[in-house]
Amino acid sequence: CISPLVQSVEETPEPIPAKIKGHIPKWINGNLLRNGPGKFEFGNDKFNHWFDGMALLHQFQLAHGTVTYRSRFLQSSSYLRNSQHSRIVASEFGTLAMPDPCKSLFGRFLARFEPPHPTLLIMNKICSSSSDFHKRDPWGSSALTENLWHLQVDWSKFIAVNGATAHPHYESDGTTYNMGNSYGKHGSSYNIIRVPPQESGHGDTLEGAKVLCSIPPRDRAKPSYYHSFGMTENYIVFIEQPLRLNLLKIITSKLRGTAIYDGISWEPQHNTYFHVVNKHTGEVLPGSWCSQPFVAFHQINAFEERGCVVLDLCCQDEGTSLALYTLQNLRRSGQGLDQV
């Protein structure tokens, strides 16, 4: 049963020795960092979806055949605000934050129109320069710099995109590629972003970032959900899958009393399309490549071989899997977990 994995835990700020089964070579030294949800309620309020849990950072420090462990909750704006009020005040993917019960009826009504506080932490360029990892981080090992625990990057201050994926790709010279959506009067667009290498001593910023290429969705009002993309030596590969974001539903979700998750729909009547872009010129290759509908979160590998672009990924034929990751389902035993 995986129920213990979806229960709230306390952080472990001080290192503790880990129990080792087997043998760890003494020449392996360093830190292994992992991140995952570790808190699923504040006060009497409970999150609904596994993706909603507050981020708990885990550090495993390996030195001379021994391992120590410690953990700390990411001090994000959501975590701090929820902790301060001892209830969920920041809406997440599958959980809608309810208005403050202490407000008047009129105040609770107006709260439906308040813009959401951004909770997305974009780790892009700051993760490519190991020399800056230790500047201000008391753990001395993670890329969570700037204000001791995290650095929030506002892409819109540099380029006309609304956020970007958490899985950028890097060239050997330090050039970074990422993808992000933009929204305007003509609907949405998929954008490939290129960030040039930063000069030594100037810190990690997004200066010089530009949109290399914009790809129009097949339905601008319902763009595809994507979590990552593929990159080879010469090409960017973007998969437009029929897991759709209904922008109208998402924009009005708070007013309608629903979570963002309610605005995501699986539409298997549409195929999955592959867009291939020359990353040197920004040109979208002519032609159309499609497959049966599927959903993928992470690209495993992408490479060029004998004039072909090869893409490895783990995918699902059924796009309703997001519903399986509700906490209610994950805490069950039996057939419900078999689907997960």
pLDDT in tens, 270-316: 999 999 999 999 999 998 899 999 999 998 999 999 999 999 999 99
Q: In this structure, is residue 63 part of a structural domain?
A: yes
- State the sign of the Cα–Cα–Cα–Cα dihedral 298, 303, 304, 308: negative
Alpha-carbon span 198 to 123, nearest angstrom:
15
Residue 17 predicted with pLDDT over 60: yes
Which pLDDT score is estimated for 141? Answer: 35
Strand (E) or helix (H) holding 238: strand 235-240
Q: How does pLDDT run across 35-84, given as a tens digit for each residue? A: 999 999 999 999 999 999 999 999 999 999 999 999 999 999 899 999 99
Q: How does pLDDT run across 194-227, given as a tens digit for each residue? A: 998 877 655 556 778 899 999 999 999 999 999 9
Residue 27 predicted with pLDDT over 60: yes
Q: Residue positions in the annotated binding site for Fe cation? A: 167, 227, 298
- pLDDT grade for 24, boundaries at 50, 70 and 90: very high
Q: How many CB atoms lie within 10 A of CB 235?
A: 18
Q: Residue positions in the annotated binding site? A: 167, 227, 298
Domain of residue 55 covers 1-89
Q: In this structure, is residue 38 part of a structural domain?
A: yes
Alpha-carbon span 201 to 135, nearest angstrom:
12
- Pick the range with the lowest mean pLDDT from 109-113, 148-152, 188-192, 212-216: 109-113
Which pLDDT score is estimated for 159? Answer: 67
Q: In this structure, is residue 275 part of a structural domain?
A: no
User: Could you tell me how far CA 260 lies from the centroid of its own chain?
Assistant: 15
Q: In this structure, is residue 311 part of a structural domain?
A: no
Which residues touch 278 (CB under 8 Å, ≥6 apart)? 234, 235, 285
Which pLDDT score is estimated for 128? Answer: 38
CB-count exposure of residue 229 (10 Å: 0-12, 13-18, 19+): buried
- pLDDT grade for 332, boundaries at 50, 70 and 90: confident
- Pick the range with the lowest mean pLDDT from 116-120, 253-257, 325-329: 116-120
Domain count across the chain: 1
- pLDDT grade for 237, boundaries at 50, 70 and 90: very high
Which pLDDT score is estimated for 205? Answer: 66
Which pLDDT score is estimated for 155? Answer: 56
- pLDDT grade for 244, boundaries at 50, 70 and 90: very high
With tokens 């360093």, the residue in question is 30
Asked if 241 and 249 touch (Cβ cutoff 8 Å), the reply is no
Q: Provide the pairing of β-strand 54-63 with 45-46.
A: unpaired
Torsion over CA of 315, 321, 322 and 328, rounded to 10 degrees?
-140
Q: How does pLDDT run across 116-159, given as a tens digit for each residue? A: 554 443 333 333 333 333 333 434 333 333 334 455 555 556 66
Asked if 217 and 284 touch (Cβ cutoff 8 Å), the reply is no
Which pLDDT score is estimated for 126? Answer: 34
Core vs surface per residue 177-215: b (16+ CB within 10 A) or e: bbbbbbeeeeebbbbbbbbbbbeeeeebebeebebbbeb
Q: In this structure, is residue 84 part of a structural domain?
A: yes
Which residues touch 287 (CB under 8 Å, ≥6 apart)? none
- pLDDT grade for 323, boundaries at 50, 70 and 90: confident
Asked if 128 and 174 touch (Cβ cutoff 8 Å), the reply is yes
- pLDDT grade for 161, boundaries at 50, 70 and 90: confident
Written as six digits, the tokens of 75 are 């001090």
Q: In this structure, is residue 74 part of a structural domain?
A: yes
Q: In this structure, is residue 145 part of a structural domain?
A: no
Q: In this structure, is residue 118 part of a structural domain?
A: no
